[in-house]
Amino acid sequence: MRKIQKHEGVIAKYKKYLPVTAKTPIITLNEGNTPLIYAGYLSGIIGRGFEVYLKYEGLNPTGSFKDRGMTMAISKACEERSNAVMCASTGNTSASAAAYAVRAGLKCIVLIPKGAIALGKLSQALIHGAVVLAVDGNFDAALDLVKDITAKYPITLVNSLNPYRIEGQKTASFEICDSLGEAPEFQVMPVGNAGNITAYWKGYKEYKKEGKIGSLPKMLGFQAKGAAPIVRGYPVINPKTIATAIRIGNPASWRQAEDARDESGGLIDMVSDNEIITAYKLLAAKEGVFVEPASAASIAGLLKLCRRGFFKKIKVAKAKNKKIVCILTGHGLKDPDRAIESIKEPKVVKPKLEAILREIGY
C-alpha cells in the first residue's frame, strides 16, 4: 500500500476551502508547506517593534509558488477530461505547467516571449517534455494568443486567468496564518500579472470569514520600475526589467490587485533594477536565502518603505510586535546567469597549504 505522507500537497491540506469534490482527481507534487523563516537581519533594519518573516516559496517542487495554482488547475483540467493545457509564460508558469501535465498525462503547450526568459526555467519546461514556442513579441502578446487559441480549441488555459490557479495560490496565505497563529500586519510581495496578490488577499479574507484570524494584513505590492503599469496607471508597451518574472506591461488581474491594495489599506509601488539587485545580494549574504530577482522585489520594497520612514510612523504596543511577511516567490537557482553576473570568480591559488592559509588569514 502507498505510504501516506505528512504533507500531500495543498489540495489535500485545504480541501475544505477549494473547489474540489470526491470526484476530482488530485494531481500533486506535494507542493506547499513552505517554510516561514524569521529574518533577524531585516528585522534589525526595520527596528524595534517589528518582526520580518520570509515565506520561501522557492522551495515548492518546481521552484516557485506557481505550483500551488497548478495543482488545482491541472486537477480540474483532468476532472473536465481535457487532454491538453496551454499557457503564456515568463518562465515559472511553464515550468510548473509542464511538470504537473506530466503527472496528469496531459499535453502541455507553452508560448514564451522570445529571449526574455531565464534559461533555468526554460530548461525545466523542455525537460518535462512540453512543446515550447518562442513568440517574437512580449509576454502580453503571447498571452493574447493563448487566450485566442484556448477559446477556440479544446485546450485548457492554465495562466492565472484560470480561476482555479488563484484558488490554489490562496493556500499560501492560509499557511502563513496557520504558522503565525494570526494574520501578519503587513504582507510585502512582487506584482507581475497580479494573480498572486489577488490570491493572497482572497485567502486572507476567507480565513477571516471563517474566524481563523481576527484581522487582515495590509497588502504592500511592488512592481519593477520598467514594468509598473499599476503604479503609473496605464499599460506599459515595452516592459523592461531584469526581474523577468514580473516583466509584464498589462496585468491580467489589474483591477483585483487595486482592490487588494485599497480594501486592505495597503499600497502598490515600484522598485528599480538596482534596488532589486541590492536586495537580491543582501538577502543571500545576510539571511542565507537565495531567490530569483523578481522575488527580491519584495525585499527591495521593504527597504524602500523603511528608508521613507513608513514603519517609523506606525505605533507599536509594547508587548506586541507587528509582523511583516515578505513573499519570496521563486528560487535563486532559476536564474543562474544573474547570480553569475553578480559575483566575482574565485581566486586561483597554488595547491599549497601556505598559499591557502595566507588567503584565509591564518
Ligand X SMILES: *Cc1c(COP(=O)(O)O)cnc(C)c1O
Burial environment of residue 134 by CB neighbours within 10 A (0 to 12, 13 to 18, 19 or more) = middle
Beta bridge partners of 157: 86
Closest contact distance (angstroms) between CB of 253 and ligand X is 7
Residue of 87, 78, 102 lying closest to 26 (CA atoms): 78
- Nearer to ligand X by C-beta: 64 or 138? 64
Closest contact distance (angstroms) between CB of 160 and ligand X is 6
Closest contact distance (angstroms) between CB of 166 and ligand X is 9
- Nearer to ligand X by C-beta: 117 or 324? 117
Question: Which residues contact ligand X (rule: CB under 6 A)?
Answer: 64, 66, 92, 160, 190-196, 245-246, 292, 294-295, 329-330
Name the grid cell of 243.
Answer: 526581474
Residue closest to ligand X (Cβ):
330
> How large is the greatest C-alpha to C-alpha distance in the chain, in angstroms?
70
- Nearer to ligand X by C-beta: 50 or 223? 223
- In contact, 193 and 230? CB cutoff 8 Å: no
Amino acid at position 361, single letter? G
Closest contact distance (angstroms) between CB of 136 and ligand X is 22
Collect all residues with Cβ–Cβ distance below 8 Å to 32 and sequence separation of at least 6. Answer: 7, 9, 10, 13, 60, 67, 68, 171, 172, 175
Closest contact distance (angstroms) between CB of 342 and ligand X is 17
- Nearer to ligand X by C-beta: 287 or 292? 292
- Nearer to ligand X by C-beta: 64 or 171? 64
Closest contact distance (angstroms) between CB of 178 and ligand X is 22
φ, ψ (nearest 5 deg) of residue 263 = -65, -30
Closest contact distance (angstroms) between CB of 143 and ligand X is 11
128 DSSP 8-state letter:
T
- Nearer to ligand X by C-beta: 50 or 172? 172
- Nearer to ligand X by C-beta: 161 or 216? 161
From residue 106, alpha-carbon distances to 75, 101, 109, 249 in Å are: 11, 5, 10, 30
